[in-house]
Amino acid sequence: MVTGKHLANMGYRAFSASMMLLTLYGGYLCTMRGYRFVQRQKELKMAAENQDPEMIKD
């Protein structure tokens, strides 16, 4: 039989696990955004060096 204390403990663990997953997913999104930013900066730098106006206008 499930007691109130046991049910509360299961709820706490489920909530903690979901928060952990959200934190990991948020970290992944931030990392990918930073990676894309760095890649875009490299592309812009190369376009500026090659004077490619089509790439720079974005």
Write the Ramachandran bin of 2: left for phi over 0, alpha for psi from -120 to 50, otherwise beta: beta
Rounded-to-integer distance, Cα 8 and Cα 16, Å: 12
Query: Can you give the pLDDT at residue 52?
Result: 59
Question: Does the pLDDT of residue 58 top 60, yes or no?
Answer: no
Cα dihedral 41, 46, 50, 55 in deg (nearest 10)? -40
Residue pLDDT, tens place only, 20-56? 999 999 999 999 999 999 999 999 998 888 875 665 5
pLDDT for 54 equals 65
Q: Is the pTM of this model over 0.75?
A: no
> What pLDDT is stored for residue 37 in this prediction?
97
The DSSP call for residue 12 is H
Residues for the chain: how many in total? 58
Is 56 in contact with 48 (CB distance < 8 Å)?
A: yes
